[in-house]
Structures are given as C-alpha cells and as structure tokens.
Homo-oligomer: A and B are copies of this chain.
C-alpha cells in the first residue's frame, strides 16, 4: 500500500538525519532497531487517512506529523519495556531494545526518539509555520502532562487509578492527536476530529487487552498475559472476553459515526472499517 511505503520512507528520512557526522554508533543502531521493522503503524496511517480525507494540500507537513507521532509511539514502547516498567525481554518478536543494547542505550533511545519527533515536525512544517504551531501544541499535549502518554504511564505508579482515564492518557491521547494532527496538517479545524481518534484509541486499547488474554507470544511477538501478572487495568480482565469484544464493536461504530463532513468522508469510513479489523486476533475480527 502506498501510504505504508511513504510512512516508512518518512521515518527512514528522519532517522537518517540523526546519523550523519560521526554520531554515537550504538545509539544510532538502537534507534533504527526501535523503529524498524515497525508494528501496524496504525497511528500514522490514521493521521494520513484524515489528512487525505481533508484534502491534504501540504503533504510534507502531513507526513512530518505522521512520522512524529509514530516516533513518539516507538519511544514510549522502548521506555515501557525497560526493566523498571514491564521488564519485557521481547517486542515485535525480537529482543527488546534494552535486552539487545543495554539499559543505558534504551533510556537514551527513548529520549532521542522523542526529540527526533519534534525535529521532524520542525523541518517538515517549516514552510507552514502557523500549522507547525498548532501541530506542536496538539502533539506535545498528547504525550506530556497532564493527560498524554507519559501521564498515562505514570498512572501505573499510583495505587488508585481510574481505568478510563488511564487508558485515555496512555493510548487514547496519541490516537486523538493522530486524527487532529491529520486535519491540522491539511489546514483544517481540529475540533471535529477529536472524537474519531478517541474512539479508535479506546477500541485499540480494548483490542490490546483482548490480545494479551487470547494471543500467543509467537503471534504477538511479545510476552502475553502481562496485564494479569503485573496487575494492570484491563478491559478483557474486567469485562470478560465476550464483554470486551462487544465493547470493541460499539466503540468502532461510534468512531465511524463521528467522522465529520469532509471531501473524503465516505472513503475514510470504509478505510476505518478495514483498519480496525487489523487490530483483533484474526479469529475474532468481524468480516
């Protein structure tokens, strides 16, 4: 698919700009390793899909936003896997970054990918500075305090957690940023696009909880059953498998219904339906 290829290219371009002029080789190798080969790239695909549905008039800005969002996602995975958090030895079927490069390089890889996300945005949107300003607000808010990924991860360090808030911060925020940034990169108003990202993000989290319960380490490329072991909040553990699947379907329906009027709305609705089917284990996907 064309979108996938162009996302990979945008990510490769970002990383290549960090590797010139005698950079520290282990960190450079670990950053490549953390980003390639990727997972489903669902966040940047969502960002592109919305940008294109809005009639993307500045593809450079749109791809920079999509790449920035994926780099932030990759950074969060590297830090989540650290021994002090999930202590995950594998990720995407390979040794995790800290397992392969050591803990010090893993901490720095996360840091460097966060910074690279904003470098990518700065360069890609330099010729549309007004859009850069709004994109930077959108994307930083989805990652930082008080309600972004980092805040979500910090809820894992608290004894009292509200499941919905935790998941909204840890997962939903970056999905929401993906749809909003797609619209902003195309010069469109952000407001109507929040809901789509929030629902897709919530559905993704439910799917992730389901995969942690019914998946195998081989199919997921990472350890399963970790939510129960680590006592993490989980929709599949809280609602049961059938309840979680029903919840997933309701969220997908709401997501698709939330798509606001735009030139490519019909195509986007159909694309969203096929994208969400990639989230569940094959035997649970709806036709």
User: Which A residues lie at the B interface, using CB under 8 A?
Assistant: 18-28, 31, 75, 79, 82, 84-85, 102-105, 107-108, 110-112, 114-116, 118-119, 121-123, 125-126, 129-130, 132-133, 136-137, 140-141, 143-148, 150-151, 153-158, 165
Contacts and interface: CB of A to CB of B under 8 A. Distances in A.
Describe A's contact surface by its main secondary structure. helix
B111 A150 contact: yes
Contacts of A27: 145, 150-151, 154, 157
A110 B145 CA distance: 12
B122 A140 contact: yes
A116 B104 contact: no
The 10 closest A-B pairs by CB, nearest first: A18-B145, A23-B146, A115-B144, A129-B129, A27-B154, A24-B154, A122-B136, A119-B140, A84-B103, A112-B150
B146 A22 contact: yes
A165 B118 contact: no
A34 to B, nearest CB: 12
A126 B155 CA distance: 30
